[in-house]
């Protein structure tokens, strides 16, 4: 099957997703909510939201693993503290606008801050094919035809003669 490996490699290259660094580089941090004491900025990525929560007066970040909890659309979401940011998992959520509620513990109080965050819509497979000009479809067709031709050629070989 060494004749098919270049075709399979070409197919894999055409269908491979963009590197994560390129896909997530467009995520900009925007302010999604604020109160008299806190400001919440968020950057939305493919499968998570990165929150930066800071005091409104001096922009000092609120840090700590147990200081922040969050809900998206009324359902609690997993959250991980990473330095001065908090990462919320959005796996399993549909794209589009969602209500975000963040509960922040600071200065002996618990403050509820609400805002709206828009999650990216998953890419449509047909749109991906159209973007690539159906090149992946044609490569797939050629690979299937080559596989079929190879199978037909194997069947036509006469069985080895036994002595």
According to the model, what pLDDT value does residue 19 have?
Answer: 46
Pick the CATH number of 26-119 from 3.30.70, 1.20.1250, 2.60.40, 1.10.287: 2.60.40
Between 113 and 66, whose confidence is greater? 113
Q: Is the pTM of this model over 0.95?
A: no
Tokens of 102: 């963040």
pLDDT digits (tens, 9 = 90+) for 13-67: 555 554 443 444 446 778 888 888 899 998 988 888 899 999 989 988 888 777 8
Q: Find out whether 89 and 77 touch, Cβ atoms under 8 Å.
A: yes
Q: Is the pLDDT of residue 1 over 80?
A: no
pLDDT digits (tens, 9 = 90+) for 120-152: 887 677 776 677 667 777 888 999 999 999 888
């Amino acid at each position: 099957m060494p004749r098919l490996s270049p075709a399979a490699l070409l197919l894999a290259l055409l269908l491979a997703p963009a590197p994560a660094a390129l896909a997530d580089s467009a995520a900009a941090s925007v302010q999604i909510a604020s109160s008299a004491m806190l400001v919440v900025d968020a950057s939305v990525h493919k499968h998570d939201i990165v929150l930066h929560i800071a005091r409104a007066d001096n922009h000092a970040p609120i840090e700590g693993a147990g200081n922040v909890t969050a809900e998206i659309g009324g359902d609690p979401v997993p959250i991980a503290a990473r330095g001065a940011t908090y990462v919320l998992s959005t796996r399993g959520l549909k794209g589009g606008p969602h209500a975000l509620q963040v509960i922040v513990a600071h200065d002996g109080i618990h403050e509820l801050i609400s805002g709206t965050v828009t999650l990216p819509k998953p890419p449509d497979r047909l749109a991906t094919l159209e973007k690539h000009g159906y090149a992946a479809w044609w490569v797939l067709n050629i690979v299937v035809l080559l596989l079929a031709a190879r199978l037909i050629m194997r069947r036509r070989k006469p069985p080895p003669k036994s002595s």
